[in-house]
Structures are given as structure tokens and as C-alpha cells.
Structure 1
């Protein structure tokens, strides 16, 4: 986490802090109900805190540490330092008018991830989009939006792409269905420039780009788009992100995540190799 900009990965930090508080509570034999009573809150709030789904107040965390028998200055300081990081403002807070809460959570996880693996059926993934292509995709999904709103939504997408040049940058595996590359989103010229961008990005050492060719088998057609995120912190489990029309699902149960890990492995095996993917991109660019 030390290599990231201040304020990044706040969602992940909240999850780490929540997990740490849960372990301290369980080790001390305190119930969630007792913990909630000690900070004038409900059992359900303690549950949300331990899942990293709400913000943390310094007083509440300090009181919980005392309740859990954490009195050593160094130990308390380490937890309270993590609290300050978890409460740091994230860059997307300036875009809350166009970024729904369910996607803000993803932005925090995306920035904190050590590896991101995604399979996309309809469009080139947001991290790899040109500004023109992103504008066309955003316009498709927000036909009634004003030009100013479209600009802000595109701005969020372009801001996310700083991950590609971050130090350290996450390992990226992107598998795109060939149909997405042949769908002229924004028109033929916009699509040509998008394909050229993919060729350029494929040279990044941290990016593995593969194409699922047309006519591939059942898994490619039935699985739907999904993203797998893995984190360097032991407190954070691997997650599956499934975006829907008006929300998203976040799966973290090992059995569920395991199914998607296996699916991604099969998709990698069925997809074109990175070398053949580049050859296909060049071939499409040479078509009339």
C-alpha cells in the first residue's frame, strides 16, 4: 500500500481495519452486541464496521480498542494510523454526482488490488479505453445525460487509467470478446484509434491481453462479464465483481470465488494467446 497515492484504496483500508477490529473483538471474547453497547451503537453497526462498509470515528475505534484490552501505545497507534488512512478522502469523492455508491466501492478496491483479471463481452474494458471510445460508451448508457455530465463520467474513466502507470502497477489480465472489437462503438474511426491503443497497451509488461475469438464454446457465451481482484493484504480475500445495470455484486466466499477463478483459467486457455491477439488486432485494422 505504501506505493500508492494518499487517499487511494480507502475501501480496502476500511476492510483491513474492520477485519483487524473483528479479530481483536473475538480474541477478547466480546460479542458484537457488547461492542455496540460500548460505543452507543447497534450490533448491526459493529457488523458493518467489521466488514468495512461504513466509515470509522476515532472515538469509536479508541473505545473499542480499550474494550478489547488493547492498551499498548504501539499497538493502538498502529490501528489508529490505519484509521486515518481509511478515512482519507478519495479522488472520486469529487465525482459523487456521477459515481454511484456501489461503484465507489469498486474504485477503492481497484486501486488497492495487486492483480486484476477481467473478462469483457460487450466493450473494451474501461482501463484500456481511449477518451473518444469512452465517451461513446458512456453516451450509450446515459442517453439523457447533459454534455457536462458525460464529460465528468468520462473524466472518472480516464482518471482510473492512472493505474496503468502506477508504481507499483497491478498485474492486469484482460480477456475481451472479439465481438467487442468488431462493434464500431463511436464509429469506424473511433474504433480504429481504440484498436491502435490496444496494440500500444499490449506492450506494457504488467498487462496480458487476450481475445476470445468468435465462435468459441459455451463458457465464453454463458459466463458473462466479470472481474477478479486479489490484494496484497492477508486481511482481504479475493473478490469477484459483477456489474449490473443499476448496481453490482461483490462475491468473497471462497467457494464462489473459486468457481470464477476456474472460469478465468478456462477462458485463458480458450482465448487467443497474447501473440495471436496482437496478430488479430493488426488483421482487423487492415480490414476495410
Structure 2
């Protein structure tokens, strides 16, 4: 029986593209890189295109051939190779989680840091189940109640990355004040609970929350929300945009303008201390 074809998972694609980038930096051709491993060029090409696997020990040998000496680079890429074929918990939700969403969850799980500018909604990693349910139902009007419930479960499960022992993802969330005024006519307590959730989450060492005030000066974020996702070097960063048609990614050097924009957005927002005070005041007012 022939071997099953390799499925190009998002981790394998990221590994392949990073290895290709390092090969180009080393000014080696595919033939030269393959020869250093005792391979033929087509195998090297398949690894870079994510249609073939590479073992962690082979990654280490290849990096040495590329002249890489940074132990952090070795650790990051060996880990990526080790986990490339692993199935994530989110794959049990295949019926409701799109391939693009599954890819993002995998990327989020591997991230080192996420900076999210959210002008309209509370970021998914900080949402309560009730808040998530109301908004998912409103956005995805074609979903059944069971599918909405499953998507809420997924959103809640994603939040575990903020408290994983030893390798928690750092989140810096900048939320426009307007998003804090969202109201739910049928269940007015939802927003009060959500505001409390923000205050509780901000106590985690991995979470920083800022509020962009209604009277802020102009800043790059007025063009729309985005998430800047940072990975261990040398895996390239990415930026995510979301809309009704799905997700759009920007990768590598093209993320530089967004990193600069994040600094300006942070500077335009309230300080962390003032942000939490503003949220606490809104929470207290919502009890009346």
C-alpha cells in the first residue's frame, strides 16, 4: 500500500518557509542544501513546500549547514518540526471550525506574544462564554444553536494559552472604549460580567489591557482592528485581519508597519492603570 500523502499543516508550512528563508540567507541553492544532507533537490523542495516531513535532528543538521549558531533558533525550529504533525484539540470541532480558523488557533497556540487592537469587540481571548455566544449568534446568522454552542466552546478553550505553565502566550489587548458600552437588551448582566472578566484577566502576569478613550487623538488604528502575532525567532511574525468573508494574513517583513502602528496605538490609549480604572467605573455603573 502506498504511503499516505503528507498533509501540509500550518506548522509544517511555517517550518518550510522559515527553512527556505534561512537557506536563502546562507546563499545556498536547493541542490547545495540537499547535498549537505545527502538528499536530492526534490526532497529539499518538498520540505520547504510542506509536502514532506523533516525530523528535529535533521533540522539541527540543516541549520548547521546554513551557518546558524543561535541556540534559540535551533530550539524554535526543532520544536516546530516535533509538533508539525500533531493534532490539536480544535480538530475535534472540524464540522464547525473552518480550515482558516483552525490554522489561526494553531498559530495562536504556538505564539510567543499577541498584540490585539480591537475597536468593536472584546478580544476573543478575553470573552466570557455569554458574551461570545451573543456575538457569535449575531455575526454568524446561518449557524444552528448546536454549532454556536460549539464555537463558544472553542473560544473558551482557546483562552488556556494565557495560563499554560511555562509557556503562556503574552496578550496585550487595546480595546476601544466604545466596545465597552455594548448592551444586550435581553440579558443586561452579560456586559457587567464581561467587564469583570477584563479586570480579572488583567491580573494575570501574561495579560495587559488598555482602553482607547472616546476622545483619543487620531492614530493608525482608526483604519480597523488587527492582531499582531509574534513567534520565537526566526519564525516570521504575522498580522491577522478578520471580516465576514474570513481571515486575511500578512507575514514576515510586511508586518513591520503594523508593529510600528501598535506603538502609536498604545501611546494614544489610556495608561494601563487608567484603563483598568475606566473599566471598573463602567462595571460599577452597570450594576445600577
> How many angstroms does 1:151 deviate by?
0.9
Report what 1:243 is aligned to: 242
- Please, which runs of 5 or more residues in structure 1 have no aligned partner? 1-9, 71-78
DSSP-derived class of the 1:204 partner: coil
Tell me which stretches of 4 or more aligned residues in structure 1 moved more than 6 Å: 34-37
Report what 2:279 is aligned to: 281
Q: Is the 8 A contact 2:221 2:261 kept in 1?
A: no
For 1:36 and 1:280, locate their aligned partners in 2 and report how far apart those are by CA, in whole Å.
61
> How many angstroms does 1:83 deviate by?
4.3
For 1:282 and 1:93, locate their aligned partners in 2 and report how far apart those are by CA, in whole Å.
37
Q: Is the 8 A contact 2:209 2:275 kept in 1?
A: yes
> How many angstroms does 1:223 deviate by?
2.6
Normalising by structure 2, we get a TM-score of 0.77
Q: Which moved more, 1:11-20 or 1:204-213?
A: 11-20
Matched residue count? 255
> How many angstroms does 1:253 deviate by?
3.9
**Where do residues 1-288 of structure 1 align in structure 2 (5 Å cutoff)?**
11-12=10-11, 14-20=13-19, 23=22, 29-30=29-30, 38=42, 46=46, 50=48, 54=50, 56-57=52-53, 83-167=81-165, 168-185=167-184, 187-219=187-219, 222-232=222-232, 234-254=233-253, 256-287=254-285, 288=288
> How many angstroms does 1:201 deviate by?
0.9
- Please, which runs of 5 or more residues in structure 2 have no aligned partner? 1-8, 67-76
> How many angstroms does 1:281 deviate by?
1.1
Structure 1 237/201 Cα, relative in aligned 2: closer, same or farther at 3 Å? same
Q: Is the 8 A contact 1:120 1:226 kept in 2?
A: yes
For 2:81 and 2:182, locate their aligned partners in 1 and report how far apart those are by CA, in whole Å.
45
> How many angstroms does 1:16 deviate by?
2.2
Normalising by structure 1, we get a TM-score of 0.77
* 1:115-174 superposed Cα distances (whole Å, 9 cap, x missing partner): 110000111011001111111111111223211111111111011010121122122100
Q: Which moved more, 1:204-213 or 1:88-97?
A: 88-97
Q: Is the 8 A contact 1:212 1:220 kept in 2?
A: no
Q: Is the 8 A contact 1:11 1:109 kept in 2?
A: yes
For 2:178 and 2:263, locate their aligned partners in 1 and report how far apart those are by CA, in whole Å.
20
Structure 1 189/82 Cα, relative in aligned 2: closer, same or farther at 3 Å? closer
DSSP-derived class of the 1:98 partner: coil
For 2:22 and 2:114, locate their aligned partners in 1 and report how far apart those are by CA, in whole Å.
27
Report what 1:6 is aligned to: none
For 2:121 and 2:96, locate their aligned partners in 1 and report how far apart those are by CA, in whole Å.
20
Structure 1 213/154 Cα, relative in aligned 2: closer, same or farther at 3 Å? same
DSSP-derived class of the 1:173 partner: strand
> How many angstroms does 1:218 deviate by?
2.6
For 1:57 and 1:18, locate their aligned partners in 2 and report how far apart those are by CA, in whole Å.
13
DSSP-derived class of the 1:118 partner: strand
Q: Is the 8 A contact 2:117 2:174 kept in 1?
A: yes
Structure 1 146/55 Cα, relative in aligned 2: closer, same or farther at 3 Å? farther
Structure 1 36/271 Cα, relative in aligned 2: closer, same or farther at 3 Å? farther
> How many angstroms does 1:14 deviate by?
4.2
DSSP-derived class of the 2:241 partner: strand
Q: Is the 8 A contact 1:17 1:83 kept in 2?
A: no
